[in-house]
């Protein structure tokens, strides 16, 4: 489904979506480059941040490039294999986002509540296992939806009320009994939605309780500042996901569903690198080093320097 049939709006939509996509990809790749090039950032928190940025690139790349091509060619058709591939990658990257945010909350919990044992608990081996488990769990969720969609036989010539192959829209095409797919979807929502969110909330409950026991206001601020960027992204991710769910449950109109999906699939990945780069002095310093090494825009080091006061590292 296209956002608008008005031919005058097509160039505007094409420019808007292309700009958002380029900003998102470049922003997340810059985060990855900054972290990998600075040895001071080779810590568990930034290791998971790199993988979160990578998942965000994959998440937005499953939907926006196809939408840009559709606007440019004035064709809103997708093949059966292409639709299933888009759905599979979309679910995998979305689950990776979800699970990595949960792992990052656990990392902050260990760093603040058990600082003396942090290096032992969050060693490189455990970080690798947590990343592998997140990836395998995401693949399993994607496989689960594929099994349910494979049971749908009435695919030819159907219309999907969204700008991409949304799993919920595909399952609505089921012409047979939907009870089993509804049960599986409910279980998957609990496992991949409710449980990770509960883990994040519990981690922050323990974090806040630990921070409140810090005697000095400066110590409390320093401890909580390490969680600020992650907490902002969590609120943004689950807030837009809840908005999409409410749009599906209460509004039901194709336009509002597509608009909610647009915010969820494009705005959230685009804002993640800005949130981390603007709120984190270590990322700013690493970005300054990247700019200096590439001899591109060296004056930007003044903006990315600590406190924006022009210090060059």
Nearest to 33 by CA among 9, 12, 68, 57: 57
Q: Are residues 258 and 311 in the same domain?
A: no
Q: Are residues 116 and 34 in the same domain?
A: yes
Q: Are residues 45 and 184 in the same domain?
A: yes
Which pLDDT score, from 0 to 100, does residue 54 have? 94
Position 2 in a domain: no
Q: Are residues 265 and 284 in the same domain?
A: no
Which pLDDT score, from 0 to 100, does residue 2 have? 73
Query: Strand, helix or coil at 154?
Result: coil
- pLDDT (tens, 9 = 90+) of the chain, 313 residues, equals 777 677 778 888 889 899 999 999 998 998 898 888 888 888 898 899 999 999 999 999 999 999 888 888 888 888 888 888 999 999 999 999 999 999 999 999 999 888 899 999 999 999 999 999 999 999 999 999 888 888 776 667 788 878 888 888 787 776 666 677 778 888 888 888 889 999 999 999 999 888 888 777 776 777 677 788 888 888 888 887 776 666 665 655 666 677 777 877 888 888 888 887 766 777 777 777 766 666 555 554 544 454 444 443 3
Q: Are residues 166 and 304 in the same domain?
A: no
Dihedral sign for Cα 52, 55, 59, 64, please: positive
Q: Are residues 300 and 189 in the same domain?
A: no
* DSSP3 helix / strand / coil % (the chain, rounded to 5): 80, 0, 20
How many domains does the structure of the chain reveal?
A: 2
Estimate to the nearest angstrom the gap between the alpha carbon of 206 and the chain centroid: 24
State both tokens at 199. 């883990």
Note down the domain range covering 261: 10-269
For residue 42, what are the CA distances in angstroms to 2, 45, 49, 146?
A: 43, 8, 11, 36
Which pLDDT score, from 0 to 100, does residue 255 have? 63
The H-or-E segment that residue 262 falls in is helix 254-262
Q: Are residues 241 and 288 in the same domain?
A: no
Which pLDDT score, from 0 to 100, does residue 9 have? 81
Q: Residue 162: left if φ>0, alpha if ψ -120 to 50, beta else—which one?
A: beta
Q: Are residues 217 and 168 in the same domain?
A: yes
Q: What are phi and psi of 74, to 5 degrees?
A: 60, 35
Nearest to 238 by CA among 209, 204, 206, 282: 204
Q: Are residues 209 and 114 in the same domain?
A: yes
Angstrom distance (rounded) from CA 48 to CA 129: 12
Position 173 in a domain: yes
């Amino acid at each position: 489904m296209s956002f608008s049939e008005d031919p005058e709006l097509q160039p505007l939509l094409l420019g808007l979506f292309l700009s958002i996509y380029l900003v998102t990809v470049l922003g997340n790749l810059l985060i990855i480059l900054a972290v990998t090039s600075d040895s001071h950032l080779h810590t568990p928190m930034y290791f998971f941040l790199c993988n979160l940025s990578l998942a965000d690139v994959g998440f937005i790349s499953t939907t926006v490039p196809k939408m840009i091509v559709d606007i440019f060619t004035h064709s809103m058709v997708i093949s059966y294999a292409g639709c299933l591939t888009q759905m599979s990658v979309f679910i995998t990257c979305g689950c990776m986002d979800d699970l990595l945010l949960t792992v990052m909350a656990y990392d902050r919990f260990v760093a603040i509540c058990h600082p003396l044992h942090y290096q032992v608990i969050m060693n490189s081996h455990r970080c690798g296992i947590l990343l592998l488990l997140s990836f395998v769990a995401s693949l399993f969720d994607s496989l689960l939806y594929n099994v349910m969609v494979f049971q749908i036989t009435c695919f030819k010539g159907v219309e999907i009320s969204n700008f991409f192959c949304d799993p919920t829209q595909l399952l609505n095409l089921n012409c047979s009994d939907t009870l089993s797919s509804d049960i599986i979807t409910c279980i998957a929502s609990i496992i991949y939605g409710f449980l990770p969110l509960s883990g994040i909330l519990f981690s922050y409950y323990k974090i806040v309780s630990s921070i409140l026991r810090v005697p000095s206001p400066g110590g409390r601020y320093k401890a909580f500042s390490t969680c600020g960027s992650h907490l902002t992204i969590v609120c943004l991710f689950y807030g837009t996901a809840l908005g999409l769910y409410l749009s599906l449950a209460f509004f039901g109109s194709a336009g509002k569903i597509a608009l909610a999906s647009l915010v969820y699939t494009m705005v959230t990945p685009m804002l993640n690198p800005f949130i981390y780069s603007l709120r984190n002095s270590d990322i700013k310093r690493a970005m300054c080093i990247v700019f200096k090494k590439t001899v591109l825009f060296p004056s930007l080091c003044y903006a990315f320097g600590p406190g924006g006061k022009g210090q060059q590292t």
